[in-house]
Amino acid sequence: EVQLVESGGGLVQPGRSLRLSCTTSGITFADHAMSWVRQAPGKGLEWVGFIRSKDYGETTEYVASVKGRFTFSRDDSKSIAYLQMNSLKTEDTAVYYCIRGGGGAIWGQGTMVTVSS
């Protein structure tokens, strides 16, 4: 069974950092890009970005609102994707979903990040 499980969310003060993990099973993790999408409370969806597979140099793409603050990484040996979030702002408050690939076929259940003083 394919599973993507996000973890690491929580309450954090503005300006601080947080790292999210996406632990996967049932997929050939190394073959796929891994994406992150977020959803602010009561709002729509925003594709935050993705990290390509090793075959594509593990290159990354970021939406403008997080560029320079967020960093994607991956550990193919553990089948885990990471989202390092620095200099967090209140507007980063959202549920963060990890997704296999860039097409949105498989989603995790999401983890809530609340940025508040």
Partner 1 sequence: DVVMTQSPLSLPVTLGQPASISCRSSQSLVYSDGNTYLNWFQQRPGQSPRRLIYKVSNRDSGVPDRFSGSGSGTDFTLKISRVEAEDIGVYYCMQATHWPYTFGQGTKLEIK
- Positions that interact with partner 1 (CB under 8 A): 37, 44-47, 49, 61, 63-64, 97, 102-105, 107-110
- Token pair for 107: 């989603």
* Least gap, CB of 63 to partner 1 (angstroms): 5
Nearer Cβ to partner 1 (72/97): 97
DSSP per-residue string spanning the chain = --EEEEE--EEE-TT--EEEEEEEESS-GGGS-EEEEEE-TTS-EEEEEEE--GGGTT-EEE-TTTTTTEEEEEETTTTEEEEEE-S--GGG-EEEEEEETTTT-EE---EEEEE--
State in angstroms the smallest separation of the CB of 104 from partner 1: 5
User: Which is nearer to partner 1, 57 or 64 (by Cβ)?
Assistant: 64
Give me the least distance between CB of 43 and partner 1, in Å please: 9
CA–CA separation, 101 vs 13, rounded Å?
31
CB of 19 to partner 1, least distance (A): 21
Q: 13 or 45: whose CB is closer to partner 1?
A: 45
Q: Which residue, 27 or 63, is less far from partner 1 as judged by CB?
A: 63
